[in-house]
Amino acid sequence: MLALFTELADWLTFVLFGLSPNSKLGDAVHFFIEDTTKIFFLLIIMIYFIALLRASLNIEKVRDYLASKNRFIGYITGSVFGAITPFCSCSSIPVFLGFTSAGIPVGITMSFLLTSPLINEVAVLLLLSLVGWQITLMYVLVGMAVGIMGGVFLDLIRAERMLQPFALKAYQSATSATIETSGASTKLKLSLSERHDFAKRELWDIFSRVWKWVFIGVGLGAALHGYVPVSWLEGNLGDGQWWSVPLAVLLGIPLYSNATGVIPIMESLITKGLPIGTTMAFCMSTVAASFPEFILLKQVMTWKLIAIILALLLFSFTLVGWILNVIN
């Protein structure tokens, strides 16, 4: 279904606007249209329908199940969901907001957010074709372990305290089950119209706070999209020194590309002799630890929490890169 946004961007950019698909401007405009429309669609769908479910169903049972003795199952579930969903780092933000507004524990939500950019079908298929199933399996297991351990750590430090006020309010509202009657365990029976009004208010409250930052974040991503100094990387990080992996990770932060755009870069770097671990670390940083993502995250998290997540991501990418370089 998400391919519809690619087709829409194709038509608007290359047919209606008449831009060349081989030009930098055409690539940037296409990226901007595809990502903004996709993010807005996901944002509206996730927030509205989760709010509708909150008003209609007893999702507190699911939340309580994940938050109690089965919390570790929740971390695994969040990580698996992140691994199988085809979302880039910026597209994961609406899902994060949806989970938060449903009262899902922040650590479980972050297991999803940390795993989602680390593992995707593009990276897995490319690794399979380049290095075989053993290293690919190792990469997937390490990536999921990073998401799970990151979620556990963020729950231990009570990361929900470092959400922005409106996101914290939505989280606390869900966890305290404000739609229940006072002092009672049964939910109020709301009409369809009342459930729709509740979901609409929730959607407007969140959407009105973040929409302009979607334009700013994706706009910056479009400006940086595809700009990767491949020749410099080949010439300076190709010998496999231990420091080449963290340096590659740091170099990837100011840049930005989605998973599709990073495929030819990965193939070029690996073909020309850059170690597989260094290549993967650089590309994961480019896709998942970018400035546009942090601009969007700032709307739902404080700078302190963003700094913690950035440190977790950089450590994770470096660890994965080192492991792949050692076993390959």
Q: Kindly state the tokens that stand for 104.
A: 């899902």
DSSP conformation class of 212:
H
The answer to whether residues 7 and 34 touch, using CB atoms and an 8 Å cutoff, is no
Rounded to an integer, what distance in angstroms lies between the CA atom of residue 123 and that of residue 136?
9
Instruction: Note the pLDDT of residue 14.
Output: 92
**Pick from 268, 217, 275, 181: which is nearest to 32 by CA?**
217
Asked whether the beta carbons of 117 and 284 are under 8 A apart, the reply is: yes
Q: In 225-236, which residue ranges form alpha helices assigned H by DSSP?
A: 230-236
In the block, which residue shows the tokens 């961007």?
9
Q: Tens digit of pLDDT for each residue in 98-118?
A: 777 777 888 888 888 888 777
Looking at residue 320, its pLDDT comes to 81
* Alpha-carbon span 306 to 266, nearest angstrom: 27
- Cα gap 169→35, rounded to integer Å: 28
Query: What's the distance, CA 222 to chain centroid?
Result: 17
Confidence at residue 77, expressed as pLDDT on a 0 to 100 scale: 85
Identify the three-state secondary structure at position 225. strand
Q: What is the pLDDT tens value at each position of the chain, 328 positions in all?
A: 667 888 999 999 999 999 988 887 888 888 889 888 887 887 788 778 777 776 665 555 555 555 555 678 888 888 888 887 656 666 666 777 777 777 788 888 888 888 877 776 656 766 676 667 777 787 788 788 888 988 999 999 988 889 888 778 777 776 665 444 334 444 456 677 877 887 888 788 777 767 777 787 677 667 756 566 667 777 777 777 888 899 988 888 777 666 556 666 776 777 777 888 888 888 778 777 777 777 777 878 888 988 998 888 888 889 888 888 888 7
Residue 64 makes CB contacts below 8 A (sequence gap 6+) with none
- Secondary structure (3-state) at 180: strand
- Element spanning 97, H or E: helix 92-101
pTM, two decimals, is 0.67
- What pLDDT is stored for residue 178 in this prediction? 42
* Cα 162–chain centre separation: 18
Distances from the Cα of 111 to the Cα of 71, 162, 242, 298, 315, angstroms = 12, 16, 28, 18, 15
CB 224 within 8 A of CB 259: no
Angle, CA of 272, 88 and 242, to the nearest 5°:
40
Token pair, residue 112, equals 């999803």
In residues, how long is the chain? 328
